[in-house]
Structure 1
Amino acid sequence: MTNWSYTVRIWKIRKRPYRKPYQLRWQVGTTPHAESFLTLGLAESRRAQFITATRNGEPWDADSGLPKSLVQRAKDISWYQHARNYVEMKWPHSPASTRRNLAEAMATVTLALVKDSKGMADHKAVRRALYTWGFNVNRWKEETPDDVAALLAWVERKSVQTSALSDRALVRRALDACARRLDGKTSSGSVIARKRAIFHQSLGLAVECELLEENPMRAVRWKAPERVDEEVDPEAVPDPREAAALLAAVREQGARGRHLAAFFGCIYYAAARPGELVGLRVQDCELPRRGWGLLRLRESRARSGSSWTDTGEAHDRRGLKHRPRATVRRVPIPPELVAMLRWHLTVYGTHADGRLFRTARGGMVQESGYGEVWAGARGDVLSPAEQETKRAKRPYDLRHAAVSTWLSSGVDPLIVAQRAGHSVAVLFRVYAKFLKGGDDAANAKISARLNQGTVQSRR
């Protein structure tokens, strides 16, 4: 911990018969310090620097004997180096998807915090180098290709010092970059919020490392561009009739479609995220011959890429989204899904580790594979005009269809949130339009209650 003091004495320069004859002596608290110089001019310049610091009321570090401004200057590093330090600190405790988000955010911010663009290569190439090499800790153990090394060297050379972020204009520049995509269009609200949060945390680390006195973002009155995209668009959500037709069309997509029919069924009937189904095991399923069954969702295996995981596997094994690692989500499933899963087990069995869904070689189901099946089913069910819209464009829209169906059926929002793996606040925010869809029914109930009160008063 730095030992600050405001008690400083600075003596006159004295000359001695040594190689550096001019000596400046001063005292901070009770600790004496001295520094020798080759010329009188250098010694006087240093003394003037010290006197200015005392007149400005700066605290002094008793250990190094320097005023605070010079201590910070000695500690100061480039923003690029600080960003790498921040990513390295977060890396061991972050899942692969978070590591990718960290790299993406830091690549965006770092390119906004360069002194100038003179000598800069293609913007996309530099950003790609930062994302795949500069901020990927796993890659630091590998030999960097010469072309990538040249791009990163340019960034290191042009990067502003971290202390320069006390300038609010620089902070605003970085925030503006967080709100833009590579094509110049406005990013989605969730992406802006994520990058802003990561940037804020990295500035907090700079304060901890005494590179900044305070987090400058708190003083910047910056508002993200208006773009409300967290709410699910009803136009993208298939109704129960369309969902049933799409699931039937999945089975018509050849052998791969038949194998994935129950996979898509779980997304629709259980509101499961695709990543939660990749590692679903038979021992996590209760599938009675009659009535409702149950799924126990224990983990997510999102595909993040082998370069981002500790195991070198493409899928990162982690707990449920925004939940402690050991959390288990219990989702009751209707007889329709029970029948689909029982048929799946009869025909395909399971992998050696108990997984229900797998590729032809026994690997993890991948988005590229089930995405092709979904595209084929969508083409069979929707008209050419409907295919141009957002209607059921992604398999994930089946999850939205499930939640919206539960809400419109009158299920308690707390139960819906628990089964979907949301907080109630997120449920209300994301599915606001579907909740508003119950206005007519709500109005009818209120009117009935009011009319009941009127009749009683007349009696």
Structure 2
Amino acid sequence: MRRALYSWAFNKNAWEQKPADDWQHALDWIKRNSLPVSSLEEADVLRRALDALCRKLDGKPASAKTARRKRAASNEALNTAVEKGYFADNPLNGIRWNTPTVNDEVDPVAVPNPLQVARLLSAVGQQRGRGPHLEAFFGCMYYAAMRPAEVIHLRIEQCHLPKTGWGLLNLSGGVVAAGKDWTDDGEVYEVHSLKRRAATATRPVPIPPHFVSMLRAHIDRFGVARDGRLFRNRAGNCVEAGAYGITWSRARKYVLTRTEIAMGLAKRPYDLRHAGISFWLHSGVDPAGCVRQAGHSIHVLFKHYAKFLDGVQEQANRLIEQSMEEWNRVSQGAGPTR
């Protein structure tokens, strides 16, 4: 049934052909056992549907993020139903239902420090097969706090990599795997603009000399794809999440201690982005500067990195206190300190 829905019923590109016989059998069953759309105007029906979104196929509770994502998708579907004339208003607007609470704060326990990141990246480079090619790939997530989609999209023309000193990556978008059945041109991947940015927006990210050297070494060793991408698979296509996820998992088991693994240190590659932003904050980078380089809002920064901002606030308090002491000395007739 899931295959019939995903591959035919929900995919308008497939409607030009009749569904396969086994899919048609499943679709007929679904039609017979489905409620009419109009029943979603009943609060009890809609509430049961929302409750079902909070469960996995085995009946166990889904994560809060999964439930919220599905609720958002349902809301968009109902908005489309309003546009098509099935409802006068979105039924969700009048329903009283508590969305599961999500803990969005980054857990400091799971965030690796610079020494641990160095160990992990080195371990990635020592993995067989794609490992050496992915060392700089994961380095982008840490040293430039890039999202995986942005790393996959990174091209040589976006990189300013001087022989000495700091470099610059001028990010302009990300690659998302949509599946060839779900794209207008039949390609597996789609290039999207930067997250929540205009199509032509760019985001410059300074990178330290150590990482500049790492990227230069990567390019010297592996070259670039025909379209200039720094990272690719053996066939020259985009790096797949499943592939780099396997390499990351192996590297963690290879280099981390049992305690570090048990505490969930750097459990996901995305934790490298969290680690990079957290280190910027720990180093005293102004939150506004972190926002510009990370590519998210100041609201997200304060919401996700509250525990790390405590240290930034303490440092700011010390600077303010020092400045006040300086003004007090001046007001009392003492000269400014040198």
State the TM-score, normalized to the length of structure 2.
0.88
Deviation digits for residues 274-302 of structure 1 (CA, Å, limit 9, x no counterpart):
21122321111101111111111122112
Structure-1 residue corresponding to 2:39: 164
The 5 Å alignment of 1:344-423 reads: 344-423=218-297
Please report the RMSD computed on the Cα atoms of aligned residues, expressed in angstroms.
2.5
Tell whether the 8 Å contact from 2:284 to 2:315 is kept in structure 1 after alignment: no
Q: Residues 208 and 283 of structure 1: is their aligned pair in 2 closer, same or farther, counting only changes over 3 Å? A: closer
C-alpha displacement at 1:454, in angstroms? 8.1
Q: Residues 213 and 391 of structure 1: is their aligned pair in 2 closer, same or farther, counting only changes over 3 Å? A: same
Tell whether the 8 Å contact from 1:188 to 1:229 is kept in structure 2 after alignment: no
Instruction: Give the whole-Å Cα distance in 2 for the aligned partners of 1:281 and 1:451.
Output: 50
Structure 1 letter corresponding to 2:96: R
C-alpha displacement at 1:442, in angstroms? 5.0
The question of 1:177 aligning with 2:42 is answered no
Structure-2 residue corresponding to 1:186: 61
Deviation digits for residues 226-273 of structure 1 (CA, Å, limit 9, x no counterpart):
x32322222221111101111122222235222222111111101111
C-alpha displacement at 1:363, in angstroms? 2.2
Structure-2 residue corresponding to 1:257: 131
C-alpha displacement at 1:128, in angstroms? 4.4
Instruction: Give the whole-Å Cα distance in 1 for the aligned partners of 2:301 and 2:3.
Output: 35
C-alpha displacement at 1:431, in angstroms? 1.9
C-alpha displacement at 1:453, in angstroms? 8.2
Which segment drifts farther, 420-429 or 308-317? 308-317
Structure 2 letter corresponding to 1:291: G
Structure-2 residue corresponding to 1:286: 160
The question of 1:212 aligning with 2:74 is answered no
Deviation digits for residues 161-190 of structure 1 (CA, Å, limit 9, x no counterpart):
222222111121122122223233433343
C-alpha displacement at 1:422, in angstroms? 0.7
The question of 1:325 aligning with 2:231 is answered no
Deviation digits for residues 93-118 of structure 1 (CA, Å, limit 9, x no counterpart):
xxxxxxxxxxxxxxxxxxxxxxxxxx
Instruction: Give the whole-Å Cα distance in 2 for the aligned partners of 1:399 and 1:365.
Output: 18
C-alpha displacement at 1:440, in angstroms? 4.3
Q: Residues 263 and 214 of structure 1: is their aligned pair in 2 closer, same or farther, counting only changes over 3 Å? A: closer
User: Which of the residues 273, 281, 294 maps onto 2:147?
Assistant: 273
Instruction: Give the whole-Å Cα distance in 1 for the aligned partners of 2:244 and 2:17.
Output: 33
C-alpha displacement at 1:450, in angstroms? 7.1
Aligned residues: 333
Structure-2 residue corresponding to 1:111: none
Q: Residues 158 and 389 of structure 1: is their aligned pair in 2 closer, same or farther, counting only changes over 3 Å? A: same
5+ residue gaps in structure 1?
Answer: 1-125
Which segment drifts farther, 206-215 or 330-339? 206-215
The question of 1:311 aligning with 2:182 is answered no
C-alpha displacement at 1:336, in angstroms? 1.0
C-alpha displacement at 1:146, in angstroms? 2.0
User: Which of the residues 96, 99, 109 maps onto 1:224?
Assistant: 99
Tell whether the 8 Å contact from 2:65 to 2:102 is kept in structure 1 after alignment: no
The 5 Å alignment of 1:112-151 reads: 126-151=1-26
Deviation digits for residues 102-144 of structure 1 (CA, Å, limit 9, x no counterpart):
xxxxxxxxxxxxxxxxxxxxxxxx3443233321223333442
Deviation digits for residues 65-113 of structure 1 (CA, Å, limit 9, x no counterpart):
xxxxxxxxxxxxxxxxxxxxxxxxxxxxxxxxxxxxxxxxxxxxxxxxx
Structure label with greater radius of gyration: 1
Structure 2 letter corresponding to 1:205: T
C-alpha displacement at 1:392, in angstroms? 0.8
Instruction: Give the whole-Å Cα distance in 2 for the aligned partners of 1:440 and 1:298.
Output: 35
Q: What is the percentage of aligned positions where both structures have the same residue? A: 47
Bigger relative contact order (CA 8 A; separation at least 6): 2
Instruction: Give the whole-Å Cα distance in 2 for the aligned partners of 1:160 and 1:270.
Output: 49
